[in-house]
Amino acid sequence: MNISPGFDTSAGSDEPHWQTEARTMVETQLVPRGIREPALLKVMARTPRHKFVPDYLRTSAYADGPLPIGGHQTISQPYIVALMTEVLTLTGKERVLEIGTGSGYQTAILCQLARSVFTIEINPELSASARCRLNTLNFTNFKCREGNGHRGWPEAAPFDRILITAAPNEIPTNLYHQVTRSGRIVLPVGAFSQDLLVITQCHDENPQIRKVLPVRFVPMADPDC
């Protein structure tokens, strides 16, 4: 499994206390809520979440809730990031398509647990800053694209996993056809009332759709934007 960090986690880093905050986040927010995957917990504890939020919010980076990152978007609550990653069931061999790069935090988590990550962000400023941030942190197994997530990344398909971090009103058809038959899609679906779904047995006559829990995400852009 690809869990080598792409960044300096040494005690001599410029924020010497963040690792304690990250471990506390894992121990108080993730483990008590049922996150159990050891590799995921390790990655969540060693990823510098404070580098993915605006400077004025860095003291709140490890708090139990989402935070605004600009462009009417947010960095998701740590538990939701962990839960969505865990239900992807990554082994380290997968090619993952992420829709909604945002700040790049979820991308950084995926990069450490999957073989490669293809991530799409519709907001040009967020896409550029996330790419710069991930490069600065020395991640190398990702590709970043600006564009409408509904279109996916057809020339790189099929993907073993697809993770969508904004809520469409229904399962996007284009993306459904870009996942392997044995793969899975994790996404929130709905307008005001949303459910986090896991879709497996894709392309079968009766794909399996499991509701995980109610969630609240920013809406996914219209397919024609």
pLDDT in tens, 80-101: 999 999 999 999 999 999 999 9
**Secondary structure element (H or E) that encloses residue 132, with its range:** helix 124-136
Indicate whether 7 belongs to any domain: no
Type and span of the H or E element at 99: strand 95-99
Show the domain range for 181: 66-215
Residue 56 lies in a domain: no
- Percent of the chain whose pLDDT exceeds 90: 83
Q: Is 106 helix (H, G, I), strand (E, B) or coil?
A: helix
Q: Give pLDDT tens digits for 189-220.
A: 998 889 999 999 887 778 899 999 999 999 99
Model pTM score: 0.93
The residues that are catalytic are 76
- Domain CATH code at residue 149: 3.40.50.150
Please report where in the chains the tokens 């971090």 appear, as a residue: 165
What's the mean per-residue pLDDT of the chain?
92
Q: How many structural domains compose the chain? A: 1
* CA gyration radius, the chain: 16
18 lies in some domain: no
- Each residue's pLDDT tens digit, 9-62: 443 455 568 999 999 999 999 999 999 999 999 999 999 999 999 999 999 999
Phi-psi region of 89 (alpha: psi -120 to 50; beta: other; left: phi over 0): left
